[in-house]
Amino acid sequence: MSTFSFSPKMPSLKTGDLLCLPWVSRKRPAFSVSDVPGALSAVAPGDDSDKLALTFLGEYGGKRVAAAVRRVGDEPLKAAQALREMISQAIGLARKLSLKRVVVCLNDAHAALATAVQEGALLGGYTFDTYKSKAQTKPKPPISVALFVKTGDVAAVRQALSEGEVVCRCVNFARDVLNEPPQVMTPKTFAETAVQFGQEAGLNVAIWDHKRLAKERCGGILAVGNGSATPPCLVKATYAPANATRHLALVGKGITFDSGGYCLKPAKSQEDMKFDMAGAAMMLAATAAIAQLQLPIRVTCIAPMAHNAISGTAFNVSDVIRMRSGQTVEIENTDAEGRIVLADAISVALEAKPDFLVDAATLTGAAVVALGEDIAAVYGTDAPFTRRVLDAGKSAGEYLWEMPLHAPYNKAYDSHIADMKNSGARWGGSICAALFLKRFVKDFSPWVHIDIAGPGGKPGVLGHLGKGGKGFGVKTVVALARGLCTEK
């Protein structure tokens, strides 16, 4: 792990420091040369703009220090991502060189760039080594990151960093639960962990166990989780400040491990399936962050949790399930289980009478085929609200792309014995999955569905988050909630 601090005054260099210097271009540094020792700041970065280059290592002023540079550019959003990656790379370099602190210099930074440095430190410096044997693995020393900003609105920077620390902590909570092995992070454990974290954040959190699910007619969640030794459950987390004027409902898929059921996944395809709960982790973490930030918006978060396993009690192909909405679903594919649990959860969320509904799930491999590992697919029923979600992702440095809700594809769900089947056509799989959910959203609007199968459950190519769970989407939802609070 890494720690982070901020000061408007250039810290004195100490033995074990790595001076990290971003450049806007090869000719223009993003820091004040007058405040940085000349021999450490004179070297400009080369042409390779995505690499941190070590430019000095040795004695300077009687202290063993190092310096490194990287170009970040001057376009704000690209510069922010470059800074996240730069700080993450600097932490790795500091560990490699047995240094203790990364000192980052910016001459004039608005809050977004300072927050990007903070995210590079707190998210880029994240580690999960719970199951590493101490006898065999050398522990990674903590690296502190100190940001120096000479000019600009210092008060605004401090406020942004205070809020950013909350968000980063919640992102890393999501990563922690995702990185736990599935025999540990069962539906029961996930629910109990969510309750503890949520209550600490000031949320009202309740668990619906399998008996309550049966009483509430959540036949979809029960069917998907029926094959596991650990019964399914549902977590309902609410935040209701007195000054709230709007109500946002959040729904996240929480399949703690997806074997595919009787439509068994190939072994290779199961490797990332502990991340099939990324939607639930995202929404629960975002709700906790919204509460800790005391945003004036009411939030209802619904997270269905189940283990899609194989056993004598598991649901079968050709089963017909009666959902909470009263609709019936013929099971054509037990590996299309995520939409089943989401459908029941959406019905629960809509009963809270929200103004807006957003769901997220690692739902389809088709979304990864279409958009790759870093980009989430977005579907919406209301163009202005969908644009708000896309803009929130952009400001948060998370990549979203709008896809069409192409109604003619609904024909793929026609069933001869039930209201619908659970598996659509081979082509346009992500669109078909969104259309299935739309059957349970019905006429409610605005609704947005985010398929995070790529960034929620795959390694990705963005450099600052490393291996394991990403906690994708938490920052986007917090940014969305903040925007809804300020909209008139």
For 282, the 3-state DSSP assignment is helix
337's tokens: 């289980």
Q: What are phi and psi of 289, to 5 degrees?
A: -65, -45
User: What is the residue-wise DSSP string for 375-417?
Assistant: EEEEEES-HHHHHHHHHHHHHHT-EEEE----GGGGGGG--SS
Catalytic residue of the set 339, 421, 458, 482: 339
332's tokens: 């054509």
Q: Are 399 and 455 in contact (CB under 8 A)?
A: yes
* Burial readout 64-90 (b: 16 or more C-beta within 10 A, e: otherwise): ebbbbbbbbbeeeeebbbbbbbbbbbb
Cα separation, 105 vs 123, in Å, equals 19
Catalytic residue of the set 169, 188, 265, 322: 265
* Burial readout 341-377 (b: 16 or more C-beta within 10 A, e: otherwise): bbbbbbbbbbeeebebbbbbbbbbbbbbebbebbbbb
- Sign of the torsion angle spanned by Cα atoms 425, 429, 432, 436: positive
Residue whose C-alpha is closest to residue 166's, from 134, 140, 200 = 200
233's tokens: 């459950």
51 catalytic? Reply is no
Residue whose C-alpha is closest to residue 314's, from 296, 331, 339 = 331
Angle value at C-alpha 173, between 169 and 179, nearest 5 degrees: 140
426 catalytic? Reply is no
Q: For residue 203, give Cα distances in angstroms to 196, 289, 300.
A: 10, 10, 10
Catalogue the active-site residues: 265, 339
